[in-house]
Amino acid sequence: MKSKIVCIGDELLIGQTINTNAAWLGEILFEQGINVKESICISDTKEAIVDTLSNVGADIELVLITGGLGPTVDDITKQVLCDFFETELVRNEEVLKQIEAFFEQRNRGMLESNKRQADLPKSAIILENKIGTASGMWFEKKGVIYVAMPGVPSEMKKLVSEQVIPRLLERGVLPNQVYKTVLTQGIGESFLVEKIEAWQNQLLKEGFKLAYLPSIGQVRVRIGAEGKSKIELSNLIEQKVEELKKIIPEYIFGYDKQTMQEVVGNLLIQNNATIGTAESCTGGYLAHLITSTPGASKYYLGSIISYDNAIKSKLLGVDEAIIEEHGAVSEPVVIQMANALKAQMGVDYAISFSGVAGPDGGTDAKPVGMIWLAIATPEKTFTKLLQLGTNRKKNIAMASLTALNLLRLELIKALNL
Amino acid sequence: MKSKIVCIGDELLIGQTINTNAAWLGEILFEQGINVKESICISDTKEAIVDTLSNVGADIELVLITGGLGPTVDDITKQVLCDFFETELVRNEEVLKQIEAFFEQRNRGMLESNKRQADLPKSAIILENKIGTASGMWFEKKGVIYVAMPGVPSEMKKLVSEQVIPRLLERGVLPNQVYKTVLTQGIGESFLVEKIEAWQNQLLKEGFKLAYLPSIGQVRVRIGAEGKSKIELSNLIEQKVEELKKIIPEYIFGYDKQTMQEVVGNLLIQNNATIGTAESCTGGYLAHLITSTPGASKYYLGSIISYDNAIKSKLLGVDEAIIEEHGAVSEPVVIQMANALKAQMGVDYAISFSGVAGPDGGTDAKPVGMIWLAIATPEKTFTKLLQLGTNRKKNIAMASLTALNLLRLELIKALNL
């Protein structure tokens, strides 16, 4: 089944709102084995809507439309849909009751424009919006299904999950597809491709699908298969993942929707261990990353951010003579930072950084992108030197992810002792 | 000038990556007075790319294309562009040298696939990518400009800002439009609208354009005007901004692309003052925000993040009895945190937080979203209690922005003393 996503709204076109609806829809359609051929944003005008609906493409069988269904006058979508599907708006008494109940429940007064939300196309199957006032509408025309939904993300998501997908499943039009994403860290896309080329070629030969999805500091490898039984497909993919794990064990940190900070957090819990951080050039980003996972207080105790060199001595007790001799961006300094943090906080593990995040502030000896990191474990303290680019944001993210991945490997070792 | 944005990549279609490029492009085109008619995401296939380029729409004069230019084999865009524009790939020696320098600078080995990024369409004007290896390409065909760029946001943005927009300006094809965005913090959209309604109505009556752009903790007010002379338009808008400043002086913290952390940073520099932070529930987000501004080391000394309550006593010296009596989320605790941090780091100003970021962990007395903050200045320490919602990310961002805005007002007072 081939599909198209149509998002209506000027706020999307001119960048006032980032189109997260399209991404969410793309993901759920993809997971159901529905090919998303195109995703388009258009203006809230009759011309644009009619033009788009009239030209969805020859092989499209499903069109999901979001936006343009609010109670305000500039939302004209509903009338345009009536014209396109050659039907008319009629007041739906059942929906009107739901809207009235909606406002009553919230102790809010109801305007005439809210009542008009119960005026719905006669030929459409109405999909009840349980958390809002704009109903979903399911149309069919010449073998193509069109579903129009409100643009409010929570309302649209509920309609799709609870009504649109179940209706499609009922029809038996969805194929059996299974995907699994392998998350890697510490190796660039082109080096990864080179390392796993033989595996990749065999995989493609056997009819699997493969995609590389790079983002800052990570490359995701997505394996897909299509066939008759989902269980069988899952097993086939698992075998391929097992093969991959043997080729690049040190780079794989997780699967599918996991994040590095979650994986490390779970390993800390399994080790019954705590962690603290001593940041400098990363300026709190690592602390922020770790604490973006709810429940991080189980293992994360805190950080001393010594952005200024004097603070490295004053609060972390780094030897001033060492800073003078080697400079703040040096291996001896990050070792002292990690050890001091670990001792002061009484944590089991500590991560420290000192570097030149950029875009300026580099010297010949210590160029922008040079970042030292140290990891203190219960047994030892070790370091790594990164030589990154000039993009401050990227450097900070890369250093943080690299440190977490090194910590991850230590935590796995500790579990197996 | 009417334009279309084309984003290539399956990762966008299936929602693995949220399409922030389209939003960013939409905004910058809009600001230049270029109408964004459509924004479309398509698959990384020859068929989809050719089909989209062949049907851009009768009145489109500018097509911005992002994505599909990486070094891996599945990126086929470049070859498809050659076919579409009836040209061929030739190795560009100048670009090859730049790519080689790029890898050398990073001490990274270069693969054959990286070299192939110097193979570029003969008929295109090559736009140098100063921070990556995939060049931008400017084509013209039947009066339509097509610009293909890499999908990596930082690279694409640099190409558009520094090369695409200047080239369009040079041609004189852009209308005379001037926009100015007034940045407000500390007041919700509906309350803001109510406060400035009379000003707004007068503004619209005089033919200006106006838009409210809310985001977490902020509402941006964008004023626009179109006419013959940009200088004249700027002056007219400045008058309107001056009027607005008189109505809501305490809420306006900056203009256009400024960020709160930049504005506060500049005020700290003007005050010749330093700052440190004592975070808890915000987990380093404020430190990260402040240090995301290059040059923050001029005024930001560091942070103690006491995520764990014991650390509040151990490292910040908060009285354990006070934590026991009032709880960690309390006014006396944030006051002690800010004062202790200020004394220990020897900074002029300190910000502290303690709260329940959520989504869980609240009690009846201290519900999710309850956050105390304190600000220590050279003269005094004062507090504010926030009662926010249940969204962890939003709460952390709101608390940080609110604290920075309160600090901003103090710094302005200090300057005027």
* Chain B touched by A209 (CB under 8 Å): no
User: What is the CA B186 to chain-centroid distance, rounded?
Assistant: 19
Alpha carbon distances (Å) from B322 to A102, B118, B318: 46, 65, 8
- Say if the Cβ atoms of A27 and B15 lie within 8 Å: yes
Identify the residue whose tokens are 């090559």: B126
From the list B275, B208, B265, B217, the residue with the least C-alpha distance to B235 is B208
Q: What are phi and psi of B337, to 5 degrees?
A: -60, -50
Q: Which residue has the higher pLDDT, A114 or A396?
A: A396
In chain B, positions 214-273, which contact chain A (CB-CB < 8 Å)? none
Residues on chain A touching B68 (C-beta within 8 angstroms): none
* Chain B touched by A15 (CB under 8 Å): yes
Residues 6+ apart with CB under 8 A from A32: A165, A168, A169, A174, A177
Residue B385 carries which DSSP code?
Answer: E
Which DSSP string corresponds to B5-38? EEEE-HHHHTTSS--HHHHHHHHHHHHTT-EEEE
Question: Does the pLDDT of residue A73 top 60, yes or no?
Answer: no
* Chain B touched by A154 (CB under 8 Å): no
Residues 6+ apart with CB under 8 A from B414: B271, B273, B377, B378
Summarised one tens digit per residue, pLDDT across range A4-53 is 999 998 889 988 888 999 999 999 998 888 999 999 999 988 999 999 99
Contact A127, A136 (CB under 8 A): yes
Residues on chain B touching A53 (C-beta within 8 angstroms): none
From the list B268, B405, B293, the residue with the least C-alpha distance to B348 is B268
Question: Does the pLDDT of residue A272 top 70, yes or no?
Answer: yes
Alpha carbon distances (Å) from B354 to A50, B313, B333, B367, B385: 53, 13, 8, 13, 10
* Chain A touched by B32 (CB under 8 Å): no
Q: What is the 3-state secondary structure (H, E, C) of chain A?
A: CEEEEEEECHHHHCCCCCCHHHHHHHHHHHHCCCEEEEEEEECCCHHHHHHHHHCCCCCCCEEEEECCCCCCCCCCHHHHHHHHCCCCEEECHHHHHHHHHHHHHCCCCCCHHHHHHHEEECCCEEECCCCCCCCEEEEEECCEEEEEECCCHHHHHHHHHHHHHHHHHHHCCCCEEEEEEEEEECCCHHHHHHHCHHHHHHHHHCCCEEEEEEECCEEEEEEEEEECCHHHHHHHHHHHHHHHHHHCCCCEEEECCCCHHHHHHHHHHHHCCCEEEEECCCCCHHHHHHHCCCCHHHCEEEEEEECCHHHHHHCCCCCHHHHHHHCCCCHHHHHHHHHHHHHHHCCCEEEEEEECCCCCCCCCCCCCCEEEEEEECCCCEEEEEEECCCCHHHHHHHHHHHHHHHHHHHHHHHHHC
Residue B348 carries which DSSP code?
Answer: S
Mark A23-35 as b/e (b = at least 16 C-beta within 10 Å).
bbbbbbbbebbbb
Instruction: Give the CA count within 13 Å in the CB-facing half-sphere of B216.
Output: 13
Mark B154-191 as b/e (b = at least 16 C-beta within 10 Å).
ebbbbbbeebbbeebeeeeeeeebbbbbbbbbbbeeee
Summarised one tens digit per residue, pLDDT across range A140-198 is 999 999 999 999 888 999 999 999 999 998 988 888 888 899 999 999 888 999 999 99
* Chain A touched by B303 (CB under 8 Å): yes
Beta bridge mates, A90: A120
- Is the Cα dihedral A292, A296, A300, A301 positive or negative? positive
Summarised one tens digit per residue, pLDDT across range A336-370 is 999 999 999 999 999 999 999 988 889 999 999 99
- Say if the Cβ atoms of B22 and A19 lie within 8 Å: yes
Contact A32, A168 (CB under 8 A): yes
Per DSSP, the three-state class of B234 is helix
From the list A374, A370, A322, A367, the residue with the least C-alpha distance to A350 is A374
pLDDT at B73: 58
CA distance B356 to B307: 11
- Say if the Cβ atoms of B14 and A25 lie within 8 Å: no
Summarised one tens digit per residue, pLDDT across range A124-139 is 999 999 988 899 999 9
CA distance A332 to A323: 8
CA distance A4 to A29: 10
Residue type, A294: P
CA distance A101 to A109: 11
The pLDDT > 90 percentage for chain A reads 77
Q: Is the ipTM of this complex over 0.85?
A: no
Give which of A305, A351, A356, A368 to mutate to test B binding, by max B Cβ within 10 Å: A305
- Say if the Cβ atoms of B40 and A36 lie within 8 Å: no
Summarised one tens digit per residue, pLDDT across range A375-413 is 999 999 999 999 998 889 999 999 999 999 999 999 999
Residues on chain A touching B30 (C-beta within 8 angstroms): 13-15
CA distance A64 to A53: 11
Average pLDDT of the residues in A306-313: 94
* Chain B touched by A8 (CB under 8 Å): no
- Say if the Cβ atoms of B26 and A12 lie within 8 Å: yes
Closest Cα in chain B to A52? B38
Contact B92, B137 (CB under 8 A): no
Query: What is the block-wise mean pLDDT of chain B (417 residues), using blocks of 10 residues?
Result: 94 89 95 92 92 92 92 78 95 94 84 89 96 94 95 94 95 86 89 91 93 84 88 96 96 94 98 98 96 94 96 95 96 98 97 94 92 98 94 92 96 91
Question: Which residue in the set B12, B291, B392 is minimally distant from A284, CB to CB?
Answer: B291
Alpha carbon distances (Å) from B230 to A80, A184, B205, B256: 39, 50, 20, 17
Identify the residue whose tokens are 């005089």: B206
Question: Which residue in the set B40, B72, B296 is minimally distant from A40, CB to CB?
Answer: B40
From the list B157, B127, B133, B130, the residue with the least C-alpha distance to B145 is B127
Distance from CA of B111 to the nearest CA of A (A): 8
- Is the Cα dihedral B167, B171, B173, B175 positive or negative? positive
∠ CA B286-B287-B288, nearest 5°, is 90
Distance from CA of A161 to the nearest CA of B (A): 16
Instruction: Enter the pTM of the model.
Output: 0.81
* Chain A touched by B298 (CB under 8 Å): no
